Structure 1
Amino acid sequence: MRLNPVPKMLSRICLLSACAFSPLFAHADGLSDLKAALARLQGPAAVKATLEAKTWSKQGEGKDAEEKNGVANVFIEEGQRGLHIHYSKELLTKLDTEELAKEKDAKVKTPTLSALKEINSSEVRPLIYAAGSLSRAVEKANFKNEKADTFNGKSARLLSFDLSIDKISEKDRKYVKKYEGKLDIWVAPDGTPLASRQHETVSGRAFVVISFESTNDDEQVYAQVGDRLITTRKESKSSGSGAGEKGESRIIKTLQLQS
Structure 2
Amino acid sequence: MQGREGVRWLAVAAVCSLFCGTARADGLADLNGALARLQGQTPVKAQVESKTWRREGEGKEAEEDSGQATVAVEGGPAGLQVLYSKELLAKVEAEQRAKVRDPKTKTPTGFALGEMKATELRSMVSAAGALSREIDEAVFSGEKVDSYKGKPARLLSFTLSLDKVPEKDRKYVKKFDGGIDVWIAADGTPLASHFHIDVSGRAFVVVSFTQKTDETRQYGVSGDHLLLLRKESRNATSGAGEKVESKIIKTLQLQS
TM bucket (normalised to shorter chain) is 0.7 to 0.9
Partner of 1:7: none
Matches for 1:43-82 after TM superposition, within 5 Å: 43-82=40-79
Question: Does the CA-based 8 Å contact 2:24-2:142 persist in structure 1?
Answer: no
Aligned counterpart in structure 1 of residue 85 of structure 2, from 80, 84, 88: 88
1:208 and 2:205 correspond? yes
Identical aligned pairs, as a percentage?
A: 58
Aligned counterpart in structure 2 of residue 237 of structure 1, from 213, 234, 239: 234
Give the secondary structure class of the aligned counterpart of 2:35: helix
Which structure 1 segments of 5+ residues have no match?
A: 1-24
Partner of 1:18: none
Question: Does the CA-based 8 Å contact 1:27-1:189 persist in structure 2?
Answer: no
What amino acid does structure 1 have at the position aligned with 2:212?
T
Could you state the TM-score of these two structures normalised by the residue count of structure 1? 0.87
Moved over 4 A (4+): 25-28
Alignment coverage as a number of residue pairs: 235
Partner of 2:163: 166
CA RMSD of aligned residues (A): 1.6
Give the secondary structure class of the aligned counterpart of 2:29: helix
- Change in CA separation of 1:189 and 1:27 when aligned onto 2, cut-off 3 Å: farther
Give the secondary structure class of the aligned counterpart of 1:189: coil
Could you state the TM-score of these two structures normalised by the residue count of structure 2? 0.88
**Aligned-residue offset at 1:27:** 9.0
Partner of 1:148: 145
Give the secondary structure class of the aligned counterpart of 2:41: coil
Aligned counterpart in structure 2 of residue 192 of structure 1, from 185, 189, 194: 189
Question: Over alpha carbons, which structure has the higher Rg?
Answer: 1
Give the secondary structure class of the aligned counterpart of 2:187: coil
Question: Does the CA-based 8 Å contact 2:146-2:152 persist in structure 1?
Answer: yes
Which structure 2 segments of 5+ residues have no match?
A: 1-18
**Aligned-residue offset at 1:175:** 2.1
Q: In 1, Cα distance between the equivalents of 2:82 and 2:134?
A: 26
1:248 and 2:232 correspond? no
Q: In 2, Cα distance between the equivalents of 1:39 and 1:215?
A: 31
Partner of 2:112: 115
1:258 and 2:255 correspond? yes
What amino acid does structure 2 have at the position aligned with 1:52?
E
**Aligned-residue offset at 1:169:** 2.1
What amino acid does structure 1 have at the position aligned with 2:180?
L
Question: Does the CA-based 8 Å contact 2:40-2:76 persist in structure 1?
Answer: no
Q: In 1, Cα distance between the equivalents of 2:169 and 2:42?
A: 38
Q: In 1, Cα distance between the equivalents of 2:202 and 2:126?
A: 36
Greater mean alpha carbon deviation, residues 225-234 or residues 243-252 = 225-234
What amino acid does structure 2 have at the position aligned with 1:139?
D
Question: Does the CA-based 8 Å contact 1:57-1:68 persist in structure 2?
Answer: yes
